[in-house]
Structure 1
């Protein structure tokens, strides 16, 4: 099997983004999988839906490469873990213009978009999204399934939990701050202190407006 062949799971607007990212990374997108078998044969950007995810999970995934093109953090992370547990591979897709320092550490199934920066000794978990012009600063870490929107910055020494969503142009200051799992940081928020899990943060300076259930 060609090691530049890849299959995409999910069919939506973000799938189109990942089709183009995969192509920019030199991959050939061989087909799409969707949970609804009635959609088999439909196309996105010239790529067909070839089967349902139910049938995929009942097939041999060993040696095959996949990208989970789902924006929702928990679902993307869960499906990525499932694919790997069944023997499938989820390579990182890194745009040629992105800069990842040699000392940085990335998990599996990450999407690193154009002009993103993963700085010295930064650490990313599995199934993370770093959008265009996003930055993970030196010695910072983000957990599995996080999503960092365009022009957002996770400051140096910060520790971010799993499935945290950063809105466009948000910042968490370089103060060894921590954010717990499943937090949402609103667009243009400026986080200046640590927060526990499942907080929604907005404003400058950021404040908690609600707890998620």
Structure 2
């Protein structure tokens, strides 16, 4: 088995990735699980290393600088990876991997556009994903293009209102579904004397009728022996 030393520090990830890259080339092997078995590394570490190897050599070298103050953390490139490889972003006519890396490096290093932590990239990815789910790909690409060019534009400016509504609606739908399952399993006879429960359910029913009417939704009559 090809043993690669266990990671002790974050800055060791790029050297490990380079060793893994040599092994992948020699064996013509790219499967994460198989590479993990061969090297003794966790599968998650193999996945992270492969993301680092995706970057051009000049950026890999930034993770190897001797001086900690000059070195760029591997986590920066790992978090950025999900944005650079997003299928919506990658199809943009203005997409340039090198340009985007440089822009985000500048924003992150200088704390521009509201950047506070590496995990802020997850917010950007989330906004892109939510916009895609709501069918607003063109809008999020327009905002992202502006965000890249304008250091005064903040990460929160990428959130699209309709996308925010879609996210809220999805969360609410899950809550309603769970409540529905609980109510369906409820034995009405056992809880017959729980006046507080039935009072709240009656109030909820009235509220539901109001909201459904506001949304112009017709409520079908349900048989009592359901």
Structure with bigger RCO (C-alpha 8 Å, 6+ apart): 2
* Higher fraction of strand: 1
Higher Rg of the two aligned structures: 2
* Higher fraction of helix: 2
TM-score normalized with structure 2 length? 0.30
TM-score normalized with structure 1 length? 0.31
